[in-house]
A = this chain, B = another copy of it.
Amino acid sequence: MILTKITDTELLYLEQKRQEIDRLLDRYLPGEDVYPQTLHKAMRYSVLAGGKRIRPILTLTAYEVFGGSNPDLINPAVCSLEFVHTYSLIHDDLPCMDDDDLRRGLPTLHKKFDETTAVLAGDALHDLAFRLLAESNSARAVLELAKAIGTFGMLGGQMADVEAEGTDVTLEQIKFIHSHKTGALICAAVRIGAILAEVDEATLEKLSLYGEKIGLAFQIVDDILDVEGDKEKLGKNIGSDRKNQKATYPKVIGLNQSHQDVDRLIDEAVAISREFGLKDNRFITIAHFIGQRDK
């Protein structure tokens, strides 16, 4: 199977959405001059350092594609997905976790500020995400996020990831880690957009499948980029998985098979998204991007 190469029009669409989301994040973060300034500065530093904004783009896309049209409802939710992602990165980078110095081309938060501020800023973004989602007045969306990032989702994956360090893992274990650590939040991003657009349950089920495929693919690409990626483009050190003896797809099944798995997952995600019968199918655009990203 050969992946359709992502077109310039598709890339332009994603870039426009990314810029739109950057503006939203800036607006929904408390200002640097608002007390407690240090904490707000730290939160802004990490969130506004850049990023692909894949999760909020997924939430916004799912909402719009399924007919949602209320910016006051969706904008806070969109930000909430990126805030949760950033909180997880900040805590993940801590010395007691992955001990990373570089993120998005800048010093990690505990390097730029200190560990105390990094722990609290992570907590604060975690909290702000729920606050914004609650403002959408949908307890179901809150529940969706909480399930995705708790011990049966992202945190469970992170713990498994930490415990797998330096051990021999099976393909099954690594699939568990990836689908929980990364996949669960990506899947929730799609679902929350669709829930706020009030789609029916059958559509939601189908979207979950799409989300699972791209979520797993996203993390396998992450593993691959840690081996073959470009440090400048990525804005973080490469080879850190190997250094930390992390469980990765390339380690377990090799680079070649990892690439093939990504292609297959993206292909399946595209096939699922075609079933929605959409005229303007932006889910395909996002799937292509995830399969082909180099940063």
Cβ-defined partner of A151 (8 Å) among B36, B91, B146, B162: B36
Q: How far is the CA of A56 from the CA of B43 in the complex (A)?
A: 30
Cβ-defined partner of A159 (8 Å) among B120, B131, B143: B120
Contact, CB under 8 Å: A155 / B97? no
Give the distance to chain B from A235, nearest Cβ to Cβ, in Å: 24
Chain B: which residue is nearest A110 at the CB level? Answer: B96
Chain B: which residue is nearest A158 at the CB level? Answer: B120
Q: Is A137 an interface residue (CB 8 A)?
A: yes
CB interface residues, A 140-157, toward B, < 8 Å: 140, 142-143, 145-147, 149-152, 155-156
Contact, CB under 8 Å: B116 / A97? yes
Q: Is A65 an interface residue (CB 8 A)?
A: no
Q: How far is the CA of A136 from the CA of B134 in the complex (A)?
A: 13
Chain B: which residue is nearest A140 at the CB level? Answer: B134
Q: How far is the CA of A140 from the CA of B152 in the complex (A)?
A: 25
Stretch at the interface among A122-130, A191-199, A208-216, A250-258: A122-130
Copies per assembly:
2
CB interface residues, A 33-72, toward B, < 8 Å: 35-36, 38-40, 43
Query: What residues of chain B lie closer than 8 Å to A130, measured between beta carbons?
Result: 130, 142, 145-146
CB interface residues, A 102-130, toward B, < 8 Å: 114-117, 119-120, 122-124, 126-128, 130
Query: What residues of chain B lie closer than 8 Å to A163, measured between beta carbons?
Result: 36, 38
Contact, CB under 8 Å: B119 / A155? no
Contact, CB under 8 Å: B116 / A155? no
Q: Is A139 an interface residue (CB 8 A)?
A: yes
Which 5 residue pairs spanning A and B have beta carbons closest together?
Answer: A131-B146, A96-B115, A134-B143, A134-B142, A36-B159
